[in-house]
Amino acid sequence: MSVRSDRSMAKRDMAKIVVFLRRLYANDGFQFGLLIFDVLTVLSFLVLTFTPHTLWVDIFDAVLGALLLAEVMMRGLVSYNRPKFWRQPSTILDLVIVCSLLWPGFTGSFAFLRVLRVVRLVRAVPFLRDLPKRHLWLIEKGELLRSAVNLLIFVFVASALVYEAQADQNPAINTFSDALYFTVTTLTTTGFGDVTLVGESGRLISVVIMIVGISLFVKLAQSIVRPSKVYYPCDQCGLSHHDPDAVHCKHCGNQLAIPTEGL
Amino acid 91: pLDDT: 85
Mean pLDDT of 90-95: 82
Mean pLDDT of 134-150: 64
Mean pLDDT of 171-175: 86
Per-residue confidence band for 182, with pLDDT thresholds at 50, 70 and 90 = very high
Higher pLDDT, 192 or 148: 192
Q: Is 77 exposed, middle or buried (0-12, 13-18, 19+ CB in 10 A)?
A: middle
Q: Is the pLDDT of residue 137 over 80?
A: no
The overall average pLDDT reported for the chain is: 78
Same fold, 1-132 and 140-227: no
Mean pLDDT of 219-228: 68
Mean pLDDT of 92-106: 77
Structurally, what CATH architecture does the domain formed by 140-227 represent? Orthogonal Bundle (1.10)
Q: Is the pLDDT of residue 212 over 60?
A: yes
Q: Is the pLDDT of residue 106 over 60?
A: no
Mean pLDDT of 179-196: 87
Residue 188, C-beta contacts closer than 8 angstroms, at least 6 positions apart: 217
pLDDT digits (tens, 9 = 90+) for 120-136: 666 665 665 555 555 55
- What ranges do the domains of the chain cover? 1-132, 140-227, 229-263
**Domain covering 1-132 in this structure, CATH number:** 1.20.120
State percent of the chain over pLDDT 90: 3
Mean pLDDT of 83-100: 84
Higher pLDDT, 200 or 54: 200
Q: Is the pLDDT of residue 107 over 70?
A: no
Amino acid 167: pLDDT: 80
Amino acid 174: pLDDT: 84
Q: Is the pLDDT of residue 104 over 70?
A: no
Q: Say how many C-beta atoms besides its own lie within 10 A of residue 24's C-beta.
A: 14
Q: Is the pLDDT of residue 254 over 80?
A: yes
The CA-atom distances, in angstroms, between 226 and each of 72, 129, 132, 246 are 40, 19, 19, 16
DSSP string spanning the chain?
-HHHHHHHHHHHHHHHHHHHHHHHHT-HHHHHHHHHHHHHHHHHHHHHTTS---HHHHHHHHHHHHHHHHHHHHHHHH-SSHHHHHHSHHHHHHHHHHHHHH-GGGTS-HHHHHHHHHHGGGGHHHHHHHHHHH-GGGTTTHHHHHHHHHHHHHHHHHHHHHHHHHTTT-TT--SHHHHHHHHHHHHTT---SSS---HHHHHHHHHHIIIIIHHHHHHHHHHHHSPPPEE---TTT---EE-TT-SB-TTT--B--------
Amino acid 26: pLDDT: 81
Residues in the chain: 263
Of 13-27, 134-148, 157-171, which range is least confident?
Answer: 134-148
